[in-house]
Chains A and B, each alone.
Chain A
Amino acid sequence: MSNELSSLVVIFTEFYYWVTVVFMFLIHVGFCMYEVGASRYKSHMHTLMKNTMLIPLVTITFFFFGWWIYFAFVNGPGINGGLVSAPWATPWSELMGGHMGGLATQDTLTVDDTAYWSRINGVFWAAFLLFSWTAASIVSGSVIERIRPSAFWILAVLIGSVTWIIDAAWGWSWNGWMVQLLGYHDAYASGVIHAIAGGFALGVLVVLGPRIGKFAPDGTPRDINPHNPWLVTIGLFLIYTGFWGFYVACNIPIIDVYGGAMLDVADKSYFSATNIYLQPTTLSAITFNFLMSLSGGLMAAYIVSKGDAFWTYSGGLAGVIGASAGNDLYHPIQAMLIGAFVVVIIYRMHFWVERRFKIDDAVGAVAVHGYAGFLGVVIAGFMLWGYPSSPFEGYAPITPWGQFLGAIIMFFVLGFFPALIASKILNGMGLLRIPREIEMVGLDINTEEQREEDARALREAIRSEA
């Protein structure tokens, strides 16, 4: 840190990720508002706490093992090599704490480790962690009003600190085996966050079952309307806002693309932002595409839902998610059309799956995140067919079949099946679903009665003063 320019690059990078974390916090604020607004009055306090408490639980477990998984599991392990050593990411590493980059006290760390990770580790960890919260929070909305909070928190740790970060190691890192062997490309996480979270939610819902009263005896679904539609819409607006931070966090802000171990072009430098695969991109490009895919999604959703506010807002989100895999490279009008196309498909799929399989997804998360993410990955395979998946030599190019296989891995292998198995275990132990009587009267029975008693006591106190 003795050279002003190189120090500026390091401190800018540190600050850049820190800012993304603050923006992404708004995603969680939005999810909490959305879920509370979508739940019925008699369960909203438990709904809020269910989502809130995933924050500390996923945070500490991501500290204990999630961060290490990201670096250690890039080869599978066992698919393209063994476990990779990552001494800067273990919970006992001195680099998982305040560090000035000087002499290490632990033998496992090299001089390069301390120089590189001392200022980046915490903010980079936090940027990934906020993705972890998002993955768990997506699942949270779909299971409201009948899952036991304790069961949800175990499932939240499973997706937030284990399965999603395995998929990031495999398909969302510069050296993941899916990138190297399949040419997997998912720049803004259509698959690695949204498809896996949607698939995970579906796996839980299959075992959990619908809310009481959701389906008529003949199987016709009933609408269970949000108790506060305004909270829902503000929540979704906040999720849009936080999504900006999410997009920016997916980039590396400044790197010499011609230097280091990548292209290694002699006597030339090219400083640029890159995506997670270290392929150059610009904030300008992704800003065009974020807004155009959002607009495509909103417009299509407004048409297919006949102006339904809930689905129009969700469609905006699905539009972005559907284009995200290739939003580093698409033309803005391509991003808009992809966003619109994806929304038409996922809207129809949501209602078809609801009727056909009696799946009660309270907030449409499986469709908005899962199906849109899956489609986004597959569409990128056709749109970006033949593009190099990485600046590194020897990696497979992007193909439709590599992307299709990648989407299957994200949605089913790391999303649906782990959730199905974990939910069946929890259900077998009687821990998955709340007791029937409590579901009927609402989880907040104690809170509501206490509130009524407090109000009565206050009324009487005021009367006695009068």
Chain B
Amino acid sequence: MATGMIENWGNIDVYGPIYPFVGSEGFLAIAGIAFWIIWHIWQLKAESREFEEDVEKIKQRGGVGSVLDAEAKRETSDLTGG
């Protein structure tokens, strides 16, 4: 069993590709592009869900004004080490 084309390093001057599974490059390209597109779709859905939850959370906290007041307190506390 050998995954690559390298049998020994004595013929290195004639070797071409040295990675394993030479010949699978077309499949790898398709798999890589699929991974990229699926990532965008997953991220887009996760982000939409996160924003929906955040908007709901802001409502539950009494609206934008209340959240901003809490932020201001937090920033003051950070600055004063409280």
Contacts and interface: CB of A to CB of B under 8 A. Distances in A.
Whether chains A and B associate is yes
Interface of A: 1-2, 41-42, 57, 60-61, 63-64, 90-94, 96-106, 114, 118, 148-150, 153-154, 431, 434-435, 437-438, 440-442, 445-446, 448, 452
A435 B59 CA distance: 13
Given A92-B26, A149-B47, A150-B47, A98 B17 contact: yes
Contacts of A154: 40
A154 B14 CA distance: 42
Contacts of A441: 58, 64, 67-68, 71
Nearest to B66: A441
Contacts of B39: 57
Contacts of B57: 445-446
Contacts of B5: 105
18 contacts: A57-B39, A60-B36, A94-B22, A97-B17, A98-B17, A99-B18, A100-B12, A100-B15, A102-B12, A102-B16, A105-B16, A149-B47, A150-B47, A437-B64, A441-B58, A441-B71, A446-B57, A448-B71
Contacts of A60: 32, 36
Interface string B55-77: 10110000010011001001100
Given A92-B25, A149-B47, A98 B19 contact: yes
Contact of A102 (B13, B44, B58): B13
B1 interface: no
Given A98-B17, A100-B16, A438 B58 contact: yes
B2 interface: no
Given A154-B40, A446-B50, 15 more contacts: A57-B39, A64-B29, A64-B32, A91-B29, A91-B33, A94-B16, A99-B16, A100-B12, A100-B18, A102-B14, A105-B16, A106-B25, A150-B40, A150-B47, A446-B54
B10 interface: no
B40 to A, nearest CB: 7
A349 B54 CA distance: 38
Nearest to B18: A98
A356 B41 CA distance: 38
Given A98-B17, A99-B16, A442 B71 contact: yes
Contacts of B40: 150, 153-154
Given A64-B29, A92-B28, A154-B40, A102 B71 contact: no
Contacts of B19: 97-98
Contact of A445 (B26, B33, B58): B58
Contacts of B64: 437, 440-441
A97 B55 CA distance: 46
Contact of B44 (A90, A114, A150): A150
Contacts of A445: 54, 57-58, 67
B36 A57 contact: yes
B44 A93 contact: no
A259 B58 CA distance: 69
Contacts of A438: 51, 54-55, 58
Interface residues of B, number: 35
Taking each of B22, B33, B71, which has the highest tally of chain A beta carbons within 10 Å of its own beta carbon? B71
Instruction: In the A-B complex, list the 9 residue pairs whose CB atoms are closest, starting with the nearest.
Output: A92-B25, A91-B29, A102-B14, A94-B17, A100-B15, A441-B67, A92-B29, A102-B15, A98-B18
Interface of B: 5, 12-19, 22-23, 25-26, 28-29, 32-33, 36, 39-40, 43-44, 47, 50-51, 54-55, 57-58, 64, 67-68, 71, 74-75
A105 B47 contact: no
B44 to A, nearest CB: 5
A251 to B, nearest CB: 29
Nearest to A114: B16
A100 B17 CA distance: 6
Nearest to A430: B48
Contact of A64 (B22, B26, B33): B33
B17 A440 contact: no
A437 B55 contact: yes
A462 to B, nearest CB: 15
Contacts of B44: 150, 431
A434 B12 contact: no
B51 A434 contact: yes
Contacts of A442: 71
A421 to B, nearest CB: 19
Contacts of A114: 16
Contacts of A64: 29, 32-33, 36
A452 B19 CA distance: 49
Nearest to B45: A150
Given A98-B18, A99-B16, A431-B44, A440 B68 contact: yes
Contacts of B25: 91-94, 96-97, 106
B17 A99 contact: yes
Contacts of B43: 149-150, 153
A32 B26 CA distance: 35
